[in-house]
Structure formats: structure tokens, C-alpha cells
Structure 1
């Protein structure tokens, strides 16, 4: 059912179909059970099914589903063979409540759109805080949408864009989160009705005019605000407008909203290069512009077309083209029927918004609002005509028409005069309102000044006896220019200051604080310039016009060619910025150099954006493979050496490992690169104190590792270091600490001796038994152990992947009171006393049975 939607009526009523892909489906609340019928052709994957909150609906892929209430039992019949979605639940008495993240208690299903379902939910945190409004709305991805590879990113982008758009006429988004496979977004809970429902209730007539104008103003302001943040809604329609009782109209669902391009570069860093929600194809054909249906890049004027369709429905109750998509309407040469309730000015504004071609369509919502609401027009003329017609009809209503003709004519004339007076008074009031609105803008541009003069001239023509109001306006405008002149003088801009003084004088000759001499000089200079200009213009006007036209044509061609080249470069750059280990940093550099040759300023602006995008990408890749990520980071730093994000980016080679995974193999160990070459000790990750992840040496520090330190710092004077695979011993704690400090400097990480608690947790694998082949003293049945030290990598690793934690050499750890302890027993200790719990105080002096291993904290 792609273009038809069933409307589920109250119990006992038949199901009916309507040919409208943007219909809202309402489920009535008179569901007694006896006469309930399951919907025919319902889309079972459309609504994530939650226990106790099922809704019996049918909807096309673009429909919005609103559930008024549930049945007396608290449930609605489930769609047959529904693929369901089960959040975590809890039972309180006999009532099953659905809880998400242990916080949001789902109350009832509010609606379903193309991406998922929206539920009313009780926020338990707000309830605990005694919030007067503890309810929120939660949007969950439906199962069909979750199968899309970019589904998770889509809802995150919607949340991010909606959070960016903090406006009274845009629904407020609180947070974006997930629980297991469930992805959801929390928003403010609104009470009211969607506009598509209100329009169906007023089909073919539209809303009451004042209410329609109010809704149009609200949603227009929302779009103006979104466009000011470089975001186009891209799916604006009645189903995405919610009319509340107290908060006006609000625009919802920025699910496929996209950033407006400036030369092809998304204004939000990284938005276009990684994900574009428009690829989900969630357009509504009846409200999509001609260009959007053809796959063009979205522009604000595309939202203008959708706004024009909505405005037409608000005032007429029907779609301007009968829901025919713009491309088909253009081919059929359809034209919207004139709405008689609108003034000529308003109708011209609406016609321009509904133009199929961008070149003919109103460019911005702000311009549409100015054209539509800027002047009141003759909106009372129709009322006067109707009253006159009623009076004229009343003349012949009775059989005494001939006898009362003269009286009826007199009454008619008086009524017409009264209506004309009322119309004049209304026009005067509207003109005053328009003038006051212009004064409130205070933009002081030439076009603003021209508009204000035109409005004043028309007001004077309508109300010539009122001289006080025009004089007041002249005084206010003069004061605005005086204030602007004062500001320019403060900045030292004398010529603009003199210009502002001249403009102030044009509104009020008695300008307080103006310099009389400067004003006279400015006037003489202006008169002389004007005389010379008049003489020159007569001879050069035509030649100058032609020359300027040629220059403009050349500039347009040059700008178009430059933009084409920029777009080609940016397309290549988007492909090169795909975040994976195979990404070509050199291709990004080549694209940057090409862009710099076309537009150096744009390339310079784009460098930090690319650096931020790469840094974000590397952070994710480092969690998969730090070594491969490091290669990409070095290439990026070479390409963008002055970008601090890349210069400061640090990869922890152990941070990607899960605690306790060290025994699974070499892939689950790590080693930090050293400045002088090679790597530091091989490490595994375990849970340290208070459950924080900790990197621990997989082996005891060997003679070979300590010898490298000795060679870098000078001879250590220890002959036993020749056997590189044995654990280092017969060194002092001071020497061990010197080695640890050298290792920290070489790797850029903070290494240290483990605490007693950390060492025990790692050595015992959180309380498990010691490995049986540990190198402790044993003589039994011809078996001898512990007679000599064994290589650090011999023996069985414990469940955390740590080798020789117990036995071989006892290891230095730091006790609770910072005393030095030798833990884990040595080869000289009997097997029965050679345990993870074995420990003894140690002086730190050298001996042949004491060594150490290192630990360090992780970057998280």
C-alpha cells in the first residue's frame, strides 16, 4: 500500500480508503472488542511493538499514525503476524510496564512516521525531582528502518540537527541514546493535533482565516530560523506540523533535513562527507519541489515550495495541485485555482511560492513572509460586498417591495457609506501597523527607507487630517539616523556619519546636535556633484550600461566555471574522506591543492574542517587497530602540519583491548612504540583498582629489556644481563625506578610499579588458582623444579594472559602504606608457599630472586 492508507474508524464502522499518501491515520478510542476488525493490508514492520502499547493501524510508508487512546483493557489488538520490538520490561503488581534505560516508562503510542514510532513516556528522573511536567516523547526506530545500514546515524543526525535548532516553533529534542539494539531519541511532549488531521476536518474549506494565518506565521518563523542555520527541512508537509493548544504550531521531524551547501561544502563540519540522510529517500512527493524530485541538492527555496502547498491547504482545505507531484504537475501544466479569501497581494505571494522552477520561485521563506503579510490589502472589501448583497436581496424579500423601495434604497446607501468608512478605518489601521512594523525593524537600509516613505505617503493619502502620526514617524526615523551617525563618528567614519546626518535631515530638518557648517558643506558638495554627474550621464549613460552588462556577463561565466571546478574537487574529496583503513590521505592532499588553485580562501577554511573530520575518524579506527591507524595519522600530520587537532591526537596502543582478554593470543596484547625505535614491554589489559582498566606487563622485565636501558644510560655493571631471556634480578629498586622513568620518557606513557592490590588482581586473575607449572621449588618422584630461573616467556599464562606472575622471581609491588613488598614467591619458595598471596617486606636492595614487571593506566 504505497499510495493508499486505510482510516480505522470507531467500533462498528466500516474501513474506508483515501487516495492520499500524506494522510494521517487516527485510531479511535471506542474499542469495545465486539466490533473490532483488524486492518486489511497493514504494514506489520511499521510500528515497533511494545507490550501493552500495541496499535491496530494501516499506513503507507509516508503516513503519520496518531493513536488517540487505548482500549479499556489498556491494550489495542496487535496487527496480525507483526514483527515486534521488545524493550526491557518490569512488572509492578499485575500491570506490565515497559522501561527503557531504567528511566523512561512508556505510557502509550503517539504516532508512527517513516523512521519509527513515537511514544509518550514518563521520565522517572523528572518525577523524582517533582517536575510539574514529567512526560517526554520517545522516538524509536522501527524494525524495517533499522535494517537500513545508516539507520543509527540517521536518528543521531536528526537529534543533532534538532538540538541545534532551538526555536519556539521547532520541537525541542533532549537527547539521543541506545539500549542494546534499540535506538531512540527523547523530545518534548506536546498536546494538540497534527495539521494534516485538522485539514481533513476542514476539507475543501480550510481553517478559519486568522487561525490559518497564525499557523502559517509560526511554521514560517521555524523555517526561517532553520535556514539561518544552513539547514533545509526537505520533508516539510502537514504531517510534520503539530498545532498545540498553548505553544502555537511547531515543526517536527528533521529526519532527512540536510545542510545547505556553500560552494558544495556542508557548513557543519563533516556532515556531508560521512552521512547524508537524504539517501534514505524519505521524500513526500506531493510536497517535494520539482528540483528535489529530480535529485538536485536541496535549497531553502525547496522548503518555500512545500510551505506554499501547506499555505494553500490552510486557506482552502485542498492541495494546490490535487496531490500531483511537482514534476507531473509541470508536465500537465497545472495551475492552482485562485483562493478568493486572499488579497491580490497575498495571492501573488502564494503563486510565486508555488512556481515549479527555482528561477521563478520565491527564493527564501523570509521574502515570502514579507510579500504575504507585509500589506493587509482589501480584506474587508468582500465583507462590504456581501453585506450590500444581503441588503439588496432583502429589498425584494417581502411583498411590499415596491412600497418600501425608497426606504430600502436609503438604508442601502447608509450601509454602504458605513461599510466604506469601516473599510477606510481598517485600511488606515493596517497602514499604521505596517509603518510601526517597519519602524520596529530599524535596519536603516535604502530599501527599508523607500518602503517606509511609500507607506507614509499612502497613509497620508488615506488620512490627510492626521498630521501628528506622520510627524512622529519622521521624528523617530531622524533619531534612528542620528544614533547611527553618532556610532559612525565614534568609530571615526566621517563620510558615513555625514551620510547618516543627511538622511536624518531628509526626515526632520530640525536635527538636534548636527553640525550646521558640515551640513551646508555636504549640501554644496552634493549639489556640485549632482550638476557634474548630470552633464556626464547624458553622454556616457548608454556606453556605461553596455560596458557594465558585458562585465556582469563575464563575471557570471567566470563564477559559474569557478563553482563547477570547486564542485568537482569537493566530490573527489568526499570520496577520499571515507573513513576506513584503506582511505587515501594523499588523494585528500591532491584535492586540497586543486581547491587552493581555484579558491585559496576556501581551501584554507576547509583545512581545519578536514583535520577535525580525520581526527574523529582516527579515534574510531584506533579502537580497532592502533598500528594501522598510526600510519594514517602520520600521513595526515604531514598533509596538515599546522592543524592542532591532528598534532595533539594521541593513540593508546592498549586502549582498544578488553580487560581480561590477554590469554586469547597475540592479537590481544599490546606494546607502546619507543622514541629510539622498537617497542616497550608486551602488555595485557586487566581490571585494576575500582574496576578501572590497567595495562600490565605480560612478562617480567627481562635482561634484554633492561640491557637496552643500560646501553642508553651507560653500563649498569651487572654481568648476569648477558642472558637476555631471563628475568632481570640482582638490581636495586633505584635502578628499577630509573628504568621505569626511562621507559616512560621513551614511550610518552606513565609507567610505574604495580600496587599490591593491582598486582594481586592481575596475578590471581581475580581469585583463580595459580597455574600448576609455575617455577617454584619442588622435588617429587624424580621431578625437580625451581633449581634455576627460567625465561620470562616460559610457562603457562594465567586466565588474564600473564606469565610467571607466581614463582621464578618474586616481584616488587607498592603496599597500601607505600612500603616496598616482594610478592608472588620465587623459585626458592616451596610450591605450597609459592602463591599469589605470598608476600614479604623488601628493602629494595639487589638480590638474585627479586625482579619486577611494570603497569600503566589507560587513556579512555
Structure 2
């Protein structure tokens, strides 16, 4: 039974994050896949990775850009990265992103390009949904755009595993595109390459508001600046709400203060359309996808209703806006970052800001009301109350009129200035690209020459290609004569080495040719005269050697003539030995150790050898038995099921062989410890003499550094019924296919079942020790499985009401199911005392842990069962 305890997970995550000193991080809560991790991994790097260390950008940018900051240690939702914040300096590569020769980075060999268009320049930040990069848009560069940079948001790998991930980012892009407002970041497009999903948006320079607030902690940013920023973000929310979109995660980290364009609201990643009456529509998009199911929110800025899993309303954004406004004017959070539900429980009240007027404080206090019915219902009413019903409209109208007048007066001048700037940038870009092209060609030529030297083919075509490349390199880079000379010396050295090698092999003519070609590349090649002198010496030595070989050949011929007489006498023996050798050769090929080994063919070969030479056949039988036993011992560690028939056939062929008779195949020994969580093929079961299989097992480290086979599931009532049916020693009312765990058994009855199972399988099953059980149940200290069957009653959710099937529920990383909860399980401690470990369905979640244990007297009850372990045969 999977529980979607959303509120509990949000609270737990908020507590954990608060303990870490980072309470403004966006928390993700899912529907059916939440409970395993209460502390979300918000700083995960989902992006890309450079190919060459030390790569640096040749384009100078501001130190502050969209969600970019240096030296920050704590952020809201988007984690700002100073430079490229990974262990080696850049993010990891992805198959949807390719690398190609660089055209924009001095000293770089490769660059990261998406869709053949966007050249990633710098990682700006990492948020709940993905990573944001600064990227060069090659289309804009080709069009001589004076600002060819965009921001790219890539879906991170963890979020991408969510079944609605692609739809989520598409919805975010489309909703953001509909919000065309000067105080909302502009989104250009949404696209994908392979399984990498991304969207492009405008690249801004400035700093996130949370960074500015940290610099002015305790004092605020100043009344005048605070009012201007509040008006900007209020206008953005009013506009979004007019389009029936609630931001749902409004906070300082999602507000970007630009250098020239005021404040902009970013990341409408979890925004949802709001229906009439405040309830999400049951038609249209919601029936297909609802981004709210991703459950992302920031506890310190989420309203009480959002923390309880309620449907987002505009008043939820009003609460978050009130928190931001309070921080702007005072430099601190109204509730000291305590989530709304905790603040409600503690009856916390915001402290009045003395610099605000009564009217302003009433408006702000109403926006900060913890309960929705007491809170201002819209941003527009909050603004009217805070700035006055007409004052804020007059201020915005005056600003707009002033902008129009200034724009009209300065249009012609700005147009001319812009055209001139574009022409200048175009000329600079053309010069830069031309220089980069030349440098790239020089680097390519140098790399090609190096690659040819590494090939060292030393034929005419190779020499021709090398000369052409050297000529072209010298034409491109005439100042680098040293490289050409060094290359020629290297080629000459290669030919000298080849000449020396041929000379050592006695190949005099090839050695002379290699020497001649070495001189062609370098007339003053050292060692040439020595090689020529050695060539003459070798020619004389070769003449002497050939004469000696002629004399030796004549002597060998005489010896062979003497052997002819004896050959006739040995012919019969040789024919016999030939037959023996053929059989032995066949046996050697047949004894190749794999699962295709044929024991029957080995038997036919032994029969053939018996007919030719019975003595050798008798001597060879124990050798073959030893080879087969060693082979089957290895094969059993790979696949014991396929090895057992081969062993049976070998025992029939060589019934007297002790090694084959004593070979014991363990059906679990081939499994790696801890592999049980990978799937069913990483479990094992022993065969029963009476038919069927024993308990399904997985292999774990038993807590003492040795592998141990542990029951994947609790022993079921059906397995006990099978024991009763076969032995007739007990009675059971359960059917053999009953999936519930065995209980209402005494320790003596469980031991009787284990004794029967040992006789059926030939193995030594037993109850685990406390240490062995804990190592398997906790996966050697890994986190608890979230959906354990323990007592829970919260918000209409109930667990532990009844037992669940032994195969029900999620396995831990070792493949163990229901180790914690359901029924408590018998184990023995170091003093051989009987304990019941792991808790039962009646134990509350807080006490239902792998560390839970109580003493037990071994009597039968409805809450105690057991699982089995056995040692492996290695």
C-alpha cells in the first residue's frame, strides 16, 4: 500500500532543511513516489560537462547575470553557481549534447553545443526543475546581433525521471510565453534533443533578490528602493493572475533585479491555471497533466493551505508577496523562516515595521494572515491598500508617460547610435571569427601532422601526405619554422629506427632504403655513416652464414638418410601413436570450459581411446574427471542451474571419480552480495526432493564480511502448509498458495519446518543472528523503505490495519521485502537469546525500524513470523 503523505513529507523536508541552515530551498513532493527521501537533493548538477579541462571563455560578461552570483552560500530555489560548480569544473555530458572543435574559446579544443545552435558558455544556476546556462545563439551571431546570448534551462536527470517531466517543462514554457510583461522574464522557445529537454529565455544581467537581501539583512534595502521593487513584482503577479495563473512558489530566489530593466519574476515552473471559484478545472489541460502533481514549494514562503496540499489560489501568492515585502522593508522574514503551519501552531505574529505608515502596515499585516479567510484575497487589493487606491496607479501612469516622452525625444538619436554599435560589433565579430578560423586551421594542421607521426606508416603515400601538411602549415604559420624542422627531424628519426630494425633482422636492402629516405628528410642525420659501415659488415657476415648453413644442410641430409631405416621399424608404433594423439587432441578441444561442453562426446572419445590403448585410457580418466570438476566449479558460480545437468552427466560417465562425486553446486553462490535489489534474476532457490523450490533467497554481506543467503520474503503460511502436507507432522488450515506471512507458530514448530527444509534441500537453513538480520534488513545502514506496513493513521490515511502479502511492498537495496513492519521476525542475539526484530504492523512508524527489537519467549502469536538464512558453499 503506497501512501501519498504530502503534508508530512513537506514538513519533514522543511525541518531537515532548517536544520541544515537553508530553509528557502524548494521542496519537491510527489504523488505515488514520494516517501523515500525527506531531504531533497536540490544542489544536484543535472547539466553538461566540458571535454577539455581549463577551458575559458573569450567573451567578457558581467559578474552578475541571470541567477548568477559569486560567493553565496545559501539560496532560495535556484542554486547559484560561481563559474562551473562541479568537482572537475564543469557539469557532466549527456548523449543529447555533442562536442565539436571550438570557435569561441582561446586554447580550447572542444565546446558543448545543443541542437547544433546553442553553444554553452557558463553554468549560471541549478534549481528544482533543472540547470540554467548562459549560451551563445549561433543564429543571432550569424545575424550580427549585438547581444547574441540567451539563457537555456535544461531539465535535470532526477526531475526527468518523473513521468510528466517533458509535459511539465512544455507547460512552463507555454505559460511563460503567454505572460508577456516587462516584469516577467521573457521565454523564447521550448525544444528537445534526444531525451534532453530544454527551453530558451532572455539573458539578463543583475542579481537575484535573495542575494541583495542577505547583504542588507536586518535593515532592508531602503524604503524607496523597496517600494520600487515591490511595485514591479506586484505588477507581475497582478498580470499573471489576470491570465488565471498562480505562481505557487513566489520568493526572493525567483525575483531577479536587473541592472536596467527593474525587477523580473522568474520560474513559473509550477504555476497552474485557476478555475472559477478557485478550484482547478476538471477539463482541458488538467485531465492530461497538472504541474502541481510535481509538488514543488518552498516551506518558508508557502501558505498554510499550500503546505496542507490545498489547491493554489491567488491569495497564496499574496502571502508569499507579503513575506517578500516584509523582508524588503525590514531585512528579515516576518516569521523568521518558520513555515506557516508551524507558525500557526505556535501562534506567531509578525512584528510591526516602524518605518511603514498605519495604512501600509494594515495592508501588509492582512497579506501575512496565516489563514486564507483572513488574508487579502488578491495582489491588486494589497497594492491598493499599501500604496493608496489612486497613488499607485498615478505613479505607474506617470512613469509610463515619462517613458513615452523620453522615448519619443530620444528615438532618432538612439536609433543611429544602435545602428553604429551594431556595425561596430559586426566588424569585431567578423575579425574575431576570421582569427579563430585561422587559429583553428593551424591547430588542425598541427594535430594532423602529429597524428601522421603517430601512425608511422613509412610508405610513399604517408611521406607525400606529411610533406603536403607541412607545406600548408608553414604557409598558414610561417613564423613557426621550428615546428617544421622538429617534424623533419622526427621523421628522419623514424626512418633511422626502421633502418636499424631491418638491419638487426638481417634485411639489408630494406635497411639501406630506409637509410636513404632518412637522409632525404635530414641530410645531417646522425648515425648514417655508422649504419652504412654496419651494412657492409653484415653483408660479409651474411655470406659466411649462408656457407655455414649449406654445410649444415648437407649434414642434416645425411642424418635423415640414416633415419630412414629406423623409420620403417617405427611406422607401426607411429600409426598407433597418431591415433592416440588424435583422440587426445579431440579430448582437449572438448574440454573447453563453457556451457556448451558435451559430456557425451567426451565419453565417445574415451571409448575410442580404450580400443586403441586401454592403459592410457585408464590413466586419462582421473585427469578428465579433475578437469570436469574444476570446470563445473567455475561454471556454477555463473549459472548453477545450467551446470547441474552437466555434473549429473559427468557422474554417470565417471561414477568412480571422487572429485565429481563430492562437487556440491550451491544455487546461490554465484550471486554478488547486495545484488538482490537489481531484479528477480538476482535471487535463488534450492530444489526440494518432494518437488518444487525452497524459499526465494538473495545474497548479502552478513555483517562479518562474509556472504550470506537470506530469505527475500518472510516465510509464508503457504510454505508452512506445504511442509504440513508433505510430512503429515502438523495440521494447517491455510492453503499452500496463501501469500500472508506465517504466524501463530511456536519456535519449536518453526525449527521443525527448518529441519524438514534442510533434509529436502541438503542445505543448512537456520534463523538469523541479530547482526545478520540487521545487516540484511537495513541494507548495511541504507535508508528505510518508505512503504513499510506499520501503524499509521494520519489525514484519512491508515496503515498497519492488517497484514499484507509477503511479496507486497518495495524491496530495500539488497532486495529484502518487508523486513521492517508486517510481522516481527525471530533472531538470536550474541548470547543466543531469542528476539523479535523489525517491528510489526501494530508498531507506530516512529518505532517501526530495523533497529526495533524485543525479547521473545518463542510462543505462538499473531504478530511474529520469521525468515531464513543459510551459509553459502564457496
Q: TM-score, normalised by structure 2?
A: 0.38
Q: TM-score, normalised by structure 1?
A: 0.38
Higher relative contact order (CA 8 A, sep 6+): 2
